[in-house]
Structure 1
Amino acid sequence: MHDIRAIRENPAAFDAALSRRGMDPVSPRLLDMDERRRAAIHAAETAQADQNRAAKEIGAAKASGDEAAFERLRAEVAAKKAEVAEMQAEAKRLDAALEAELMGLPNLPGADVPDGADESDNVEIRRWGTPRSFDFAPKEHFEIASVAPLMDFEVAAKLSGARFVVLSGALARIHRALAQFMLDTHVEENGLTETWTPVLVRDEMMVGTGQLPKFGEDSYRTSDGWWLVPTAEVTLTNIVNGLTVDEHSLPRRYVAHTQCFRSEAGSAGKDVRGMLRQHQFEKVEMVSVTHPETSLEEHARMTACAEGILEKLGLPFRTVVLCTGDMGFGAQRTHDIEVWLPGQDRYREISSVSVCGDFQARRMNARMKPADGGKPVHVHTLNGSGLAVGRCLIAILENGQQEDGSVELPEALHPWLRGKTRLGADGVLA
């Protein structure tokens, strides 16, 4: 959420920043609402002061025996009370309306974010690894002979409908090992704090990280009001919701492995084959809460943590900076990491790492108390996949596939598979 005071101080700069996201100017409307809100607050405060003054005079009139003055003042206090209540209600209504407007506006892009309309304008900043040359036509993950019997979409459709999958046997074990490998790497080598959080959250938590009120259709809500998390970003970031933390406690670096749930609204017809785009999937999520002055440095660090997982697994990837037209609602700057999928002959997103500045912190009222005793300021928040487990499984299967239908597994993963090195053509780990 944005600070109306900052908009008041430089409305032209605010509109110019939003225009980079393809939006029309909004500051005239916001400032008009703000002016009316402040006028209502001032009027309510003035009326309250008049009420308090008359209330004090009632006692004096009663003590002096001036019944006429007493009755006049009592009537005045009663009238003022109703007037104050009405004015306070109007001020509250205008305040809520302004907050709703601010809640619906995306974050301002960083100055160094490339301008653009869509993903075609994203800018590649580096590549790692060389895509493997195959002596045969590589298959997509669900077509590989050893994989197909262990990746059941028909049973999943019977159980739950489209965009679900049932993994079994060796494939389920590899999937589990991947998540364990990612968690252990982030904890032991990257210094993140492993965290286990709920997957059901309240409205306020979804508001805090920006999924609500604008993007409710992208998530699932239970009949009794909880939301299923689209990512552990929601729970990990909201750990500091409503808190004022000490400066010396920052940065806070969290990692969690959770089930994630997305309705995939608006994705009809996209990636309908295989398990690339599912309603239910697993992710190892990283979240950092930082000092405002170190968030960009932390963004680079988090990106390297995610890239490091792919490097250990020997999976070729590229990292791109998202342009203004492709960047998410709450982000100031986003790095997408795209892994090479030979079955599709293209790079596909496997992680997005974003710095949000104080955008989420304002929504959550999360602050930092400076060590020098200064006025508390909003913290900065960051989030990123470290990585999407299912997509990582896809990449391992497609990059490691052999002509006979078996799959050679990355050496880094062997310890988490008790020394097993390959998925045999018969679907058994060997």
Structure 2
Amino acid sequence: MAPVRTTTIGCGYLGATHAACMAELGYDVLGVEVDPDKLAMLREGRAPVYEAGLDEMLARHVASGRLRFTDSYEEAGAFGEIHFLCLGTPQRSDGLGADTSQVEYAVRTLAPHLTGSPLVVGKSTVPVGTAARMAALLTELTPSGVEAELAWNPEFLREAHGVDDTLRPDRLVFGVRSDAAEKRLREFYAPVIDLGVNGATPVVVTDYATAELVKVTANSFLATKISFINAVAEVCEVAGADVVALADAIGYDDRIGRKMLGAGVGFGGGCLPKDLRAFQHRAGELGVEDVMSLLGEVDAINAHQRERTVQIAKGMLGRSLRGARIAVWGAAFKPGTDDVRDSPALAIAGQLHLRGAQVTVFDPKAGRTARAAYPTMSYAEGAVEACRDADLVLHMTEWPEFREVDVDRVTEVVAHRRLLDGRNVLDLQAWRNAGWTARGLGRL
């Protein structure tokens, strides 16, 4: 039997990763990308974003012919049996809600070109109610005689772990309206289900609305956990306690767990902040905004962490920020990616720069994307170089390189020995032994 022909509509971070992984599983894949620059990169087997292992996988399957890319929806409609929608849903420019225009455009453009009995599968993170609307649109625009059906299969990728999370997910969620759609998804994902880390990958079969809510609920819960420990960290500073030891202690409670209890400068990236706001906005549209007001506080605490870090930096300098030389280690919102969207590290660096500091940033992978976002700041090619003549060093993204840096080499190049660990992962005692004033957030 010939392998299933599948398309991936939208080949940014999610789509490029999904397309490459489906080719890895043996499927014939056609990716659709309308951005000409991204399309050119993908056709050369290069990913438009940094993700460990993705470039190699893309190059291998583009070279084999199993994975191709186009900007033609007509070609995609004729080719695919299962079509995955992997479009972005950024925060709307006029409010907190999610902008689903890319998803709607894809459905409107793809539907007239569908043939046979295709299954269209949404993977994008959308407000609850979107899938039902897209299903109606699909029925309206599909040619006569074509039996198209919609399913919703939310993605749960963690940036820097996207390839592994696609091939070995901790669960699969199928939002469907028929047994036939469930059967097709189970058959398609059979290799993934069989690759489960602890036996078969769990599959949750549910309705559209529940499938849509799973992703935003998970992200909002994680954001809440992060903001909670950051609020506690501020109490720890006033009380003279250590938030890292505290998190270790409560993390042993299996009802709580230690993951996501790393106090620091807060969360960022392209998912948690906008999903948190979109969930709160949609709850308001549904008339239950009061019960979700907690999410507004979670968002406010996260924003407060950035300003608080700026004020702590100013306090450590003991002077005005104007003219101070500050080295910032990290620009990406997390290690393992070059994504600087809503990055706490880059936002804090930018605020210091806007208040008159001379800021030099180094990030092992995100230098290019950071420079595009903040072109007026200075950028270094290495961690030690960034610290030359610095009055203060800020550790903002927990890349392994920063934990392994030679303290003595940094000591030789700085003007003043001051370190603020915004991620609470450095060995502060080692820095103090070298004569540094070193502190974290929530630990003095």
Query: So what's the TM-score if we normalise by structure 1?
Result: 0.26
Larger gyration radius, structure 1 or structure 2? 1
Larger relative strand fraction: 1
Higher relative contact order (CA 8 A, sep 6+): 1
